[in-house]
Amino acid sequence: MKERRKRLQIPKTILFFGILFLFLPVINYLGIAYKLNHSFTNLRSILNEVTGFEIILMAIPPLIGIQLLRVKKTGWWLFLIYAIVLITYNFYSLIKNKDFYNLNSLFQTILFFGAIFYFLRRDISAPYIKLYPRGWRGELRNPVQIQVRVNSVDRLTKDISEAGFYLDWKDVPLEINEEVTVEIETESGKTLLSAGVVRKDENGAGFAFRRLAEDDNRWIQKLIQLNS
């Protein structure tokens, strides 16, 4: 039976923020209505009390949410820009009008402060900003270049982890799930490993190691450390 590397689905935290952004205009609208002591159904009077900039801040989040859930680079960048703008605006409004800083604004500021640090993590941002498509993985890939020989073809890894590696290899003549022999030569000698093709794209291919023994795992860990 062929082994395949497990790929994590979209993280629950990103799923939370994506859905939150879809509903954020409604949340903010209700918050503004409550602050102004207006009826929630009196849309015109509420919108007359807010600036054009505030309306833009209310309208943009669904677009960001959709892009985040679709794992688009524009969604990642829009999220960071929006979070920074929102935090800056909330602090500015607090200085200008101390009554502005209601519970909703305070909660969003704290939430987005934490979200910025979360989205800047390499393992979270990678699927959004990598030049080649990828998903979230259980093992963090290290951007390490190591010479490997795959079925007698020499290539440099673009990144590698204990689970697998990615090669720049345009028009790779291999099929998904095809098993290959991986030869890695170090000062201590040559090591032969088995791997399978788990992904192909226009830039290259991703491989997952198969049937690794415990000694093989330790050897790969040491190899990554020495080349990091």
Beta bridge partners of 150: 153, 182
pLDDT at 187 over 60: yes
DSSP labels, the chain: ------EE-S-HHHHHHHHHHHHHHHHHHHHHHHHHT--TT-HHHHHHTS-HHHHHHHHSHHHHHHHHHTT-HHHHHHHHHHHHHHHHHHHHHHHH-TTS--HHHHHHHHHHHHHHHHHTSHHHHHHHH-SS---EESSPPB----EEEETTEEEEEEEE-SSEEEEE-TT----TT-EEEEEEEETTEEEEEEEEEEEE-SSEEEEEEES--HHHHHHHHHHHHHH-
pLDDT at 138 over 60: no
Q: What is the pLDDT of residue 23?
A: 92
Strands 189-200 and 7-8 come out as unpaired
Q: What is the pLDDT of residue 124?
A: 67
| Arithmetic mean of pLDDT, 129-149 | 60
pLDDT at 165 over 50: yes
Average pLDDT, the chain: 79
Share of the chain above pLDDT 90, in %: 7
| Arithmetic mean of pLDDT, 133-151 | 66
Return the half-sphere exposure (C-beta side, CA atoms, 13 A cut-off) of residue 185: 7
Residue 174 contacts by C-beta under 8 Å, 6 or more apart in sequence?
151, 180, 197, 200, 205
Instruction: Kindly report which listed range (85-89, 122-126, 151-155) carries the lowest average pLDDT score.
Output: 122-126
What angle is formed at CA 37 by the lines to CA 34 and CA 40, rounded to 5 degrees? 60
| Arithmetic mean of pLDDT, 35-51 | 82
More confident call, 223 vs 1: 223
Q: How does pLDDT run across 89-137, given as a tens digit for each residue?
A: 888 877 777 665 566 677 778 888 888 888 877 666 666 655 444 554 5
pLDDT at 62 over 90: yes
Residue type, 72: K
Q: What is the pLDDT of residue 1?
A: 37
Instruction: Kindly report which listed range (29-43, 99-113, 184-198) carries the lowest average pLDDT score.
Output: 99-113
Q: What is the pLDDT of residue 104?
A: 66
